[in-house]
Amino acid sequence: MQPINIAIAGFGKIARDQHLPAIQADPNYRLVAIADPHASLSGVPNFPSLDALLENLPELDAVALCTPPQLRHSQACQALAAGKHVMLEKPPGATLSEVEDIKASATRANRSLFASWHSRYAPAVGHAAAWLSERRIERVNIEWKEDVRHWHPGQTWLWEPGGMGVFDPGINALSIATAILPRPFFLQTASLSVPENCQTPIAASLTFSDRDGLPIGAEFDFLQTGPQTWDIHVDTSVGRMTLAQGGSQLWIDDKLEYEGKDREYPGLYERFSQLIRTGQSDVDVTPLRHVADAFLNGRRTVAAPFSDSA
**Catalytic-residue membership of 90:** yes
* CA separation for the pair 218, 220 (Å, rounded): 7
Q: Which residue out of 84, 90, 103, 145 is catalytically annotated?
A: 90
Closest C-alpha to 84, from 108, 107, 56, 54: 54
Within a 10 A sphere around the Cβ of 225, how many other Cβ atoms? Answer: 10
β-pairing verdict for 203-210 and 185-195:
antiparallel
Please work out, in degrees rounded to the nearest 5, the angle formed at the alpha carbon of residue 92 by the alpha carbons of 90 and 93.
Answer: 120
* CA separation for the pair 82, 137 (Å, rounded): 47
- Catalytic residue annotation: 90
